[in-house]
Amino acid sequence: MFTGIIQGLGTVTGISPIKSGTRLLIRPDFELKDPELGESIAVNGVCLTVTTLVSDAFSVDVSPESLKRTTLSSIRINDRVNLERALRLSDRLGGHIVSGHVDTVATVSSRQEKGDFIFFSFSLDPSLDRYIIEKGSIAIDGISRTVNECQPGGFSVAIIPHTAKMTTLSFRKPGDKVNIELDVLGKYIEKLLFYEKGQKGQKNERSVDMEFLARHGFL
């Protein structure tokens, strides 16, 4: 589990194939205190497992599923990546609840710089619009952001100078691809509201709907 508060950048220094996956060697720009084999780390918002440790770098293995669903399939040597170590129970939840399980890839549709701030618009599959709300949370390449505005098939965010300095968003330009993780709470609520239950020969019924809420005094 993560918060979307990026701890620093890393540089991809090695890429090698492993069966149907890929192994990445990453050198962080900051000190990883007491790193452990097997710990989880988010790389551009993708939850990965540290498989080896060297003096100034670590490696992670990217599965075929992650390659298919994220931008890590097009990663190159010397690319910069956002890094966040897994949340500890004693940590502050400064961003929002991020699982590191990417839902889709979005495209940067526009970038505007106004003073010290950067305003981005992104386009994505319109079928995902229902999970994005104005002033709600979204993770972009693992970065916790607040949605400024929503439009069909897209949304926009504002980037403060600190976020631009600490993350790869400062490098992003129109046409670039980014990993998107939607708010997990919204997905669970939808599943609970529209989950259909039943057995063979019986009519399926939604577990929670407007009729259910009215019948039990919630409406």
Residue 114 and residue 131: Cα distance in Å, rounded?
Answer: 28
Residue 59 and residue 157: Cα distance in Å, rounded?
Answer: 32
Residue 213, pLDDT score: 73
Q: Which residues pair with 48 in a beta bridge?
A: 41
Residue 216, pLDDT score: 76
Q: Do domains 8-85 and 104-188 have the same CATH topology?
A: yes
Strands (E), the chain: 8-18, 21-28, 40-43, 46-53, 58-62, 80-85, 104-114, 117-123, 137-140, 143-146, 149-151, 154-159, 177-181, 196-197, 205-206
Residue 205, pLDDT score: 56
Residue 206, pLDDT score: 56
Residue 201, pLDDT score: 47
Which helix (H) or strand (E) is 204 found in, with range?
Answer: none
Residue 181 and residue 138: Cα distance in Å, rounded?
Answer: 6
Which helix (H) or strand (E) is 176 found in, with range?
Answer: none
CATH class assigned to 8-85:
mainly beta
CATH code 3.30.1360.10 for 104-188: no
Domain boundaries, the chain: 8-85, 104-188, 191-219
Ranges under pLDDT 70 in the chain: 195-209
